[in-house]
Amino acid sequence: MTYQDIHPAVFLSRPNRFIARVELDGAVETVHVKNTGRCRELLVPGCTVYLEGSANPRRKTKYDLVAVEKARTGLPPLLINMDAQAPNRVFGEWMAAGKGADLGLPRPALLRPETAWGNSRFDFYWEESETGRKGFVEVKGCTLEAGGRALFPDAPTQRGVKHLRELTACREAGYEAAVCFVLQMAGMDVFSPNDATHPEFGAALREAARAGVKVLAVECGVTPRSLVMTRPVAVALQGRRKDSAPGGTL
C-alpha cells in the first residue's frame, strides 16, 4: 500500500489519543494520529514523524500521522508505520497476490473481510474451493520492538484476548484459524507475546496455539510512502529468543 503527499515533521506532544501537535515547515500543526494505542515509546518529543496530507476540505485536521522514526542507541533510527488501518490492507494485498502459502494459508477462492462468527467479527474469512477448506484470520498490527524482537501488545487488550478465544472456538468447530501479527517495521529477528505488559494475552495466545490456531508473524518493508509485507518472522511463544518455524511452535 502507498501513501500520497507525505511530509516530514517534528513531533511535539500528544494531547489525547486522537491528535498530536507537530512542527511542520516552521509552524505548529495539529494532526490526526492514525493509531489510538499508547505508542509512548514511539512518540517522543523531538522525533521525526511523517504526515500524509488530506485533500478533504471538511476535515478539522489537514494531516494524518502515519509513521515515526524510533531512535536506537548505536544504530540508525528504525522507521515504524503507525497506521492502525494498514495491517489489514497489506494482509489483504498479500493474500490476493497468492502469497498465503508462505504462511501455510491457501490461495483462497473467497477472501471476505470483516466477517462475524459467534460473538466476534474477524478481519478475514476465506474459502479454498478445491479442497473445501475454510478458515478465519485475525490480523494484529505490531509497532513495539526491543532489541530486534517484535512484541504485542503494547498495552493490555481484553479485546485481543477475546479474539483469541473465539479463534479457538472456530478451530473446535472445524474451521481453520490463524492470528497474523503484521510487524510494521523491518529487521526483526523474532516475534513474542508481551507477557510483561499483558500476561493474560500471552497465556491466551499459547492456549490458542495448542488448540491448533496458527500463530503467524510477517515483517514489512517500510518507507514514509509505503508499507508492504515481505517475509515471515520466527515466533517464540514463550518469550525466549529461540527460532521457530512460521506457525508458532511452542
CATH architecture of 86-235: 3-Layer(aba) Sandwich (3.40)
User: Please, which residues have CB within 8 angstroms of residue 132's CB and are 6 or more apart in sequence?
Assistant: none
Distance CA 66, CA 3 (A): 9
**Strand pairing class (190-193; 176-183):** unpaired
Distance CA 165, CA 76 (A): 39
Q: Residue 242: its pLDDT value, please?
A: 37
Per residue in 79-97, pLDDT (tens digit) is 999 999 999 999 999 998 8
Q: Residue 83: its pLDDT value, please?
A: 96
Banded pLDDT at 239 (limits 50, 70, 90): low
Does 48 score more than 60 pLDDT?
yes
Distance CA 169, CA 159 (A): 15
Per residue in 127-143, pLDDT (tens digit) is 988 888 899 999 999 99
Q: What DSSP line would sit under 201-229, residue for residue?
A: HHHHHHHHHHTT-EEEEEEEEEETTEEEE
Distance CA 220, CA 222 (A): 6
Phi first, then psi: give them for residue 46, nearest 5 degrees.
100, -10
Measured from the Cβ of residue 63, the count of other Cβ atoms closer than 10 Å reads: 23
Block residue for cell numbers 472456530: 170
Measured from the Cβ of residue 37, the count of other Cβ atoms closer than 10 Å reads: 17
CATH 2.40.50.580 location in the chain: 6-79
Does 148 score more than 60 pLDDT?
yes
What average pLDDT does the structure give for the chain?
91
Which cell numbers in the block locate residue 165? 478465544
**Residue whose C-alpha is closest to residue 48's, from 79, 19, 14:** 79
Considering the four listed CATH numbers 2.40.50.580, 3.90.1580.10, 3.30.310.80, 3.30.1370.160, the one that applies to the domain covering 6-79 is: 2.40.50.580
**Strand pairing class (234-235; 190-193):** parallel
CATH 3.40.1350.60 location in the chain: 86-235
Question: Is the C-alpha dihedral spanning 87, 90, 92, 94 positive or negative?
Answer: negative
Does 246 score more than 70 pLDDT?
no
Distance CA 163, CA 115 (A): 13
